[in-house]
Amino acid sequence: MKETKNRNGFRRAALPVFAMLIVAILSLTTVTYAWFTTGRDASVDSFDLNIAAGGGLEISIDGKNWSSTLSADDIKNYYAPEGPGKDENTYAFFGGKGLLSPVSTDGAYDASLAMNFYSGVIENGLPGAKLKSASKAAGGYLKFDIYFRNGEAENLNVTLTGTNVGEPKKGNEAIEDQQGHLAARMAFVVAGSRNSLAAGNDLTANTTAGTAVIYEPNATSHTESGINDYKAGTKAASLDGKIESYYALVGVYSEGESISRFEEKDGVLKSVTTKGEEETYFTLESQTVTKVTVYIWVEGQDVDCTNYISSNSFSVALKFVATTPKG
């Protein structure tokens, strides 16, 4: 049962940026609603990322060497153990050994720009199951940086448009409840910028805590099991295939009494409305270089986050477009 919602709005400039992500995750068995069964992770078999830029927009992995393209190998080599950006966790994803565990966040990040992620445990694997506990997550998500250089005479808003999400397949048929991309989330945090197009990475760092806009590629497409979970948890008679918000974990919880996953609880669960295409995710000032931290994760509080979605593979093709602000 799927519905697709299209959003329209921004006037686009001819400055496209394309990103193709292909994620294959190993098969897990038996359905559990909401959070995966305790101890289960989604092991990433492969991760491919290719970015191309046009017009006055250029990209870089290190803020020094600029190009119109950026490949998975560029990112992998940068974060490799012997690379300048040495980071074992990021390198693991591009090396085919990363682990995606269900985590949850409302997009809030602290002054160090670290996004706050939490892990949850449910009381059972039945539709509408309640939350038993929540704790601070120790990884399970992908994080990497990209530098953007705007050589235009005006500011540019960066939006997403024309996203193409591939479905997992067994043989030639898509499997209804094994669509991992339906629980995917992405967020972009501006880490810093400088008012110069010259080579270098001496940016003025962003040290202000905030909340990133969360991109959900498939807010209006859901599996039958996800819809059943939502109905059971909210007592909703019908859903019409639309769930454009979720209750993100925003704190730890261990008070013993299980709580609903579909209601706000002060300091624990917070309602979050995600964004789709044609929204502004960050702005590039004229004649500047901007560093953006990209987060990608599987949202544990998404109704489609079941053991089923950790089977087979999914692919996401992102298309970033720089638009001229209206007015």
Higher-confidence residue: 178 or 267? Answer: 267
Q: Report pLDDT for 167.
A: 54
Main-chain dihedrals φ then ψ at residue 108, nearest 5 degrees: -70, 140
Q: Report pLDDT for 58.
A: 80
Q: 12, 323 in Cβ contact below 8 A?
A: yes
CA dist list (Å): 32 to 105, 177, 286, 315: 21, 11, 49, 23
Does 237 reside within a domain?
yes
The helix/strand/coil state of 233 is helix
DSSP characters for 73-123?
HHHHHHHSTTSTT--HHHHHHHTT--EE--BB--SEE-TT--B--EEEEES
| Residues 211-228, mean pLDDT to the nearest whole number | 83
Does 280 reside within a domain?
yes
Percent of the chain predicted with pLDDT > 90: 27
DSSP characters for 136-170?
E----SEEEEEEEEE-SSS-EEEEE-S-EEEPPEE
Q: Report pLDDT for 195.
A: 87
CA nearest to 150, candidates 94, 246, 66, 273: 66
CA nearest to 244, candidates 220, 217, 226: 220
Does 230 reside within a domain?
yes
Does 2 reside within a domain?
no
Number of domains in the chain: 1
> Residue 36 belongs to what domain range?
13-323
Higher-confidence residue: 166 or 276? Answer: 276
**Confidence class for position 152, pLDDT limits 50, 70, 90:** confident
The yes-or-no verdict on residue 9 having pLDDT over 50 is: no
Q: Report pLDDT for 243.
A: 61
| Residues 122-140, mean pLDDT to the nearest whole number | 87
CA distance 282 to 272: 19
**Confidence class for position 119, pLDDT limits 50, 70, 90:** very high
- Which range of 13-27, 105-119, 167-181 scores highest in mean pLDDT? It is 105-119
Does 6 reside within a domain?
no
Token pair of 253, please?
């919880």
CA 210 to centroid of chain Cα atoms: 17
Percent of the chain predicted with pLDDT > 70: 67
Does 69 reside within a domain?
yes
Does 4 reside within a domain?
no
pTM: 0.83
Task: Please state whether beta strands 142-150 and 57-60 pair in parallel, antiparallel, or not at all (unpaired).
Answer: antiparallel
Does 7 reside within a domain?
no
Q: Report pLDDT for 42.
A: 46
Q: Report pLDDT for 100.
A: 73
- Which range of 4-8, 51-55, 266-270, 272-276 scores highest in mean pLDDT? It is 266-270
Mean pLDDT of all residues in the chain?
75
